[in-house]
């Protein structure tokens, strides 16, 4: 194992997904440099790694150049929930675009492989279903979600231009809805929203008629997909969809959460937000054939694990002993 040890940079490494990726890379025997400006990431997510001999944390904003010596880069830096990325939309776009330029420049100097954590949001409110990697998307370039959607689309452009122009080894993953422990309790994402609302006895917030769909991938499965993509043959650049192809309506998700939490909360319906996608489901045929990857953790099992995490988190937030 130690003969193949690498020093790996994970930007956004103190976030929900990034912290789980750091854990897995350390388990594999690598050295990990976690970089995060802690806008949405938290030290709480990585506090269990304090003192680990192969883990370092650097507080830094990727919109500024970064000078480090590493062997591989996972670029996960960017707020990923509407509540957070719409809080400062200009900074969100800068994080995706300037951040990509800085990380790609670093990879070019070091001649190292670099993976971009892109998103299913590049498909916008899709006109085809399910979404394949060949679909170019249906994105509003001037709407309230554009800072994230178009920022990520531009980042993909930069990655492929660096590959064509500088022969850089790139990997691009389009990540669909991911959930699990360490999600921010107030990030506005549907899984964390429903669980926190159910555990605190609040009404479950549903938008539209509750029949819009999403496909939910447990974080452990997603991390496995990212690592498989990073370690795949150099000719495999992506973009590759990573997500769970099993589709659920928002009403079905709410029912599952209420059942697992045994909550007496009731759904309350609100108007659908502007540009909110009606359907979201990945076609993962490419991930299956090229990476030998598909999700293994069913939604009921993943939700149970996530509810257990949030039970403790809600108790902490209430200040209960």
Q: At 1, is the pLDDT very low, low, confident or very high (cuts 50, 70, 90)?
A: very low
Q: Which helix (H) or strand (E) holds 173?
A: strand 170-175
For 276, other C-beta atoms within 10 Å of its C-beta total 14
Q: How far is CA 38 from CA 59, 175, 204, in A?
A: 7, 21, 29
Asked if residue 217 has pLDDT above 80, the reply is yes
Spatial distance between the Cα atoms of 30 and 32, rounded to a whole number of angstroms: 6
pLDDT reading at 275 higher than 90: no
Domain boundaries, the chain: 2-249+252-318
Q: Which fold has domain 2-249+252-318?
A: Rossmann fold (3.40.50)
Could you tell me the pTM of the whole model? 0.93
pLDDT at 2: 43
Inter-residue contact 126 to 132 (CB < 8 Å):
no
For 169-197, the pLDDT digits (tens) are 999 999 999 999 999 888 888 999 999 99
Exactly one of 123, 148, 162, 179 is catalytic; name it: 148
Tokens of 144: 């309230």
Q: What is the SS3 string spanning 179-192?
A: ECCCCCCCCCCHHH
Look up 148 and say whether it is catalytic: yes
Cα separations in angstroms, 243 against 247, 296, 305? 11, 11, 18
């Amino acid at each position: 194992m130690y003969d193949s040890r690498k020093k790996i940079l994970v930007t956004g490494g103190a976030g929900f997904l990034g912290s789980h990726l750091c854990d897995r890379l350390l388990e594999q025997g690598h050295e990990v440099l976690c970089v995060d400006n802690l806008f949405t990431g938290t030290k709480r997510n990585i506090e269990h790694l304090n003192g680990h001999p192969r883990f370092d944390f650097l507080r830094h904003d990727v919109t500024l150049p970064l000078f480090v010596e590493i062997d591989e880069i996972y670029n996960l830096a960017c707020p990923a929930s509407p509540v957070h990325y719409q809080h400062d939309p200009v900074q969100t776009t800068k994080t995706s675009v300037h951040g990509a330029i800085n990380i790609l420049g670093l990879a070019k100097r070091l001649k190292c492989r670099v993976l971009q954590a892109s998103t299913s949001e590049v498909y916008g409110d899709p006109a085809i279903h399910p979404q394949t990697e060949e679909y170019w998307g249906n994105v509003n370039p001037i709407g309230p979600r554009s800072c994230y959607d178009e920022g990520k689309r531009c980042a993909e452009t930069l990655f492929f231009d660096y590959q064509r122009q500088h022969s850089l080894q790139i990997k691009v993953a389009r990540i669909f809805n991911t959930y699990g422990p360490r999600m921010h309790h107030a990030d506005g994402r549907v899984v964390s929203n429903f669980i926190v609302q159910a555990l605190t006895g609040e009404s479950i917030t549903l938008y539209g008629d509750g029949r819009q769909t999403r496909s939910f991938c447990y974080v452990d499965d997603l991390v496995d997909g990212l690592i498989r993509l990073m370690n795949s043959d150099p000719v495999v650049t992506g973009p590759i969809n990573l997500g769970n192809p099993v589709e659920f309506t928002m009403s079905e998700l709410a029912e599952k959460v209420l059942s697992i939490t045994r909550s007496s909360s009731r759904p309350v319906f609100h108007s659908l937000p502007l540009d909110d996608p009606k359907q979201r489901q990945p076609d993962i045929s490419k991930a299956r054939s090229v990476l030998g990857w598909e999700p293994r953790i069913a939604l009921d099992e993943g939700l149970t694990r996530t509810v257990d995490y949030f039970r403790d988190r809600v108790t902490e937030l209430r200040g209960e002993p």
